[in-house]
Structure 1
């Protein structure tokens, strides 16, 4: 009986903690969004605190009903981390309405556009840049030269679903209501209403479950 009561007390503490964490996360995240010049709606739901690095000449917009899970206590799916949102000088990151993400890293050096009703699974990374030059002379110089570093826009259309631990690379468009299987590496466009899986991601079949409200 005593052990049962202890367990009940412990579970009650957990419930209380997560209720408090939601309020705390919302307050701190609001402050971070505001100080980084993010255009956002106050109806977002956040668990955990995201990491933001938004250049003064970059732009980051978030639509209504945004939801995120950030950090090891709020994203218990393995390889969890805080959410990272990075926007370089002159770059533009836009997230549409009713988007949900968990422990993502979105690094924008050019333009990344995420549509409405998009779900992005745990530990997914989205890069619109190579970060380093493909020319070994520049890449291996000291200090490293960034000549020839390539960046191209990433577009994720309405209703897309990206499985956890996926990597989305520069210049990619993911079609409306399309699904990217967990652990995939995407370096080419995915048409609307399709399912792609693998490294590199390949077409599997048409998406027969595409009744997403847009």
Structure 2
């Protein structure tokens, strides 16, 4: 084969190789996107918890030992989605607390329906930047809440606002912080299926 023919054959084959490389790259990208889709929710939640993005509050084991002499006003708001037959409201519309001080507040909730229902509370604070400094030690929002027909309860929150908020350029003048909750209906857990032997005998009580 002459040198000219060899170069000509290389040029003919090159588009095929390029196509193969592009195909492999696309396949790798697709696999990466699938992996990202599965990881996106926990990663996003972790990102929000670490950065306070979108007004996401923090979780803490205990309040600081030192309490500042600076005060901040915390306001409370409560909402319920239309598919959840509950009433939900804060027992205190606002409280004024010291930075670093552990505080206790509560919300009152009632199931107004004739059936057992389960809800999950989503939450945030405004201004959004305050989420990085708003720490919850205990909160009903950490778990789903199930209420029997007509049941009503007070649900508590234990929190503090970190004194490092004074170092924030946009929050150092301590504007009021609003903590908002929105309850949404969630499906109740499905009943556990009976085992083969129990199904065959109709249960152990027979």
- TM-score calculated relative to the size of structure 1: 0.20
Structure having the higher helix fraction is: 2
Q: Which has the higher contact order (CA 8 A, sep 6+)?
A: 2
Q: Which has the higher strand share?
A: 2
